[in-house]
């Protein structure tokens, strides 16, 4: 299994707006081969810190997703988001290979 975390900070007063966006996400990734699960995590102590947690069957499946047309389409929409403060946020991405369960 392969896990990817994309962590980003939004102004605390905009956290609920961003959470609503993810609750209503397009769900295109859900159809990608090897996709297992998506979670949006909110830091308990810093509500403006959000992490997208994604689980994949393999690194190859994840890499196929990030080079797909669906991935490009989703991220192009993010860049066009009307709130430029949110549109310009760049997440810190961490990738993990699961080595024990």
| Counted domains in the chain | 1
Which CATH number is 38's domain given? 3.30.70.100
Confidence (pLDDT) at 66: 94
List residues bridging with 95 in a β-sheet.
4
The tens-digit pLDDT sequence of the chain (101 residues) is 999 999 999 998 999 989 998 998 878 899 999 999 999 999 999 999 999 999 999 999 999 999 999 888 877 766 666 677 777 788 999 999 999 99
Among the listed residues 37, 83, 35, the one whose alpha carbon sits nearest the alpha carbon of residue 61:
35
SS3 readout for the chain? CEEEEEEEECCHHHHHHHHHHHHCCCCCHHHCCCEEEEEEEECCCCCCEEEEEEEECCHHHHHHHHCCHHHHHHHHHHHCCCCHHHHCCCCEEEEEECCCC
Q: What is the pTM of this model?
A: 0.87
Confidence (pLDDT) at 54: 97
Among the listed residues 100, 86, 65, the one whose alpha carbon sits nearest the alpha carbon of residue 22:
86
Which domain range does residue 27 map to? 2-97
């Amino acid at each position: 299994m392969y896990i990817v975390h994309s962590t980003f900070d939004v102004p605390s007063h905009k956290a609920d707006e961003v959470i609503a966006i993810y609750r209503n996400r397009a769900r295109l990734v859900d159809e990608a081969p090897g996709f297992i699960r998506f979670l949006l995590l909110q830091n308990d102590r810093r509500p403006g810190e959000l992490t997208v947690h994604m689980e994949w069957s393999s690194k190859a499946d994840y890499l196929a997703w990030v080079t797909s047309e669906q991935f490009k389409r989703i991220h192009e929409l993010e860049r066009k988001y009307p709130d430029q403060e949110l549109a310009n946020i760049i997440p810190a991405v961490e990738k993990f290979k699961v080595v024990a369960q």
